[in-house]
Amino acid sequence: MKSALLELSYLIGSVTFIVGLKMMGNPKSARKGNLLGAAGMTLAILGTIFLFEKKTEDGAVVADHVVPGIIYALIFGAILLGTIVGWLTAKKVQMTKMPELVSMFNGMGGACAALIGLMEYEHNLHHTGALATIIAGMVIGTVSFSGSIIAYLKLNGTMKQPIRLPQYNVINTIVMAGVVLFGAWVVMTAPSMTFLYLLFAVAIVYGILFTVPIGGADMPVVISLLNSFTGLAAAFGGFLYDNKIMLTGGILVGSAGTLLTLVMCKAMNRPLSNVIFGAFGGGDAAAGSSSVSGSIKDINVSDTAVLMNYSKKVVIVPGYGLAVAQAQHVIHELETILEERGVEVKYAIHPVAGRMPGHMNVLLAESNVSYDKLVEMEDINPEFSSTDVVLVVGANDVVNPAAHNDPSSPIYGMPILDVENASHIIVNKRSMNAGYAGIENELFFNPKTSMLFGDAKAVLTKLVAEIKSL
């Protein structure tokens, strides 16, 4: 009876994962989809704790098996501790730090998969199939863990530059081959735990070597790729335990992460191999692009207010600078005021704007911007030619015309937001420093572009007040 109920809880949980993931494909239903998936996971966890039955090797249920009370106390104590830490961390995190939090959480998932391998190894020394599953899950989870920690350090600014060792591609390839061969040897010979810990250490080293050369501009892709690694490691855990919901969740995370990685690579017009081995976006990338010359012109808040107030159509391009300034609420107020005066306002969303997939969507949703106003790149680009004013706030590389005009630029061929086709372009930046990819932006020297310097929140607050006074 317990076994049937447990399988039913796993089935329900799996269905909630699939339906929840589908709902997360639409911003309007994403929150409900997330809650639905969390409810399914809660059901699966409780089912595992209370309905699990110990069985012998031939599948017979051990009728007199009793779980000591101390075990339940430890389990629920760990769950409570993890819930409190996770809840408080997610509740307090600023939107600018969300990519780092996602990377850290993903790393913890990889670490859990690695720990499963370390714990289950000695229990399966004589089962080659199970041993292969354990080693695969442990190695992939470990790479995801150490790689995610490096991604976290890059995103929070601790590691600002990519570390490129001489012939690092050759070194990485040798280490990767060594990990694979070492893992295969462990599966075939089942040596002592000492060698497993050594394999664990080598996998950590490879995860670090895999991530440190990759430049900052490619971090969204790397986060998504490492997320798929964690899902794959969890799926191996599902195979090991014959756990349907663990398998389903791992497959969903792994496949979704892989697809998202490929979509973002397509958005940058670069193959995944180029992202991994190119180390683009670390600050010296501009060395390969031609220098940009010309003059720039400033614009003040008063002139910007007049220009936007008497426009028919305004498109706002949000970027990481908007998140840094925590100006999402002010920009929503600006949008509201303009619409009250008959101006059509939309937001242009680039797939890799910000520091993680969907960063701008989440940022603007926090300030209650209508989902209908968030327009993806493919749909908004044809509208720029009929747009009176484009306001670029904190975005840089995703609006750089060098992607179209400069074959020597590292971003050449990357699809961008074609803001240069608008009648007037206003760019809000703190300074003329290059963007995250370290590349000079041709857009700033366009005759139609005016630079509105200053902190995004302060500037937008003054802009709102100025428009109100008109």
> Active-site residues: which are they?
397
Sign of torsion over alpha carbons 146, 148, 150, 153: negative
Smallest Cα–Cα separation from 205: which of 146, 134, 158, 153?
Answer: 146
Q: Tell me the two tokens of residue 376.
A: 């993806």
The secondary structure element, H or E, covering residue 74 is helix 69-92
CA distances from 403 to 349, 398, 423 (A): 17, 9, 20
Sign of torsion over alpha carbons 375, 378, 384, 387: negative
Return d(Cα 342, Cα 385) in angstroms, integer. 19
DSSP-H helix ranges across 156-192: 168-189
Q: What is the dihedral of CA 228, 234, 236, 240, to 10 degrees?
A: 180
Return d(Cα 367, Cα 332) in angstroms, integer. 7
Q: Tell me the two tokens of residue 309.
A: 């107030």
Q: What is the dihedral of CA 282, 283, 285, 291, to 10 degrees?
A: 170
Q: Tell me the two tokens of residue 199.
A: 């394999």
3-class secondary structure, 165: coil
Return d(Cα 40, Cα 33) in angstroms, integer. 11
Find out whether 363 and 331 touch, Cβ atoms under 8 Å. Answer: no
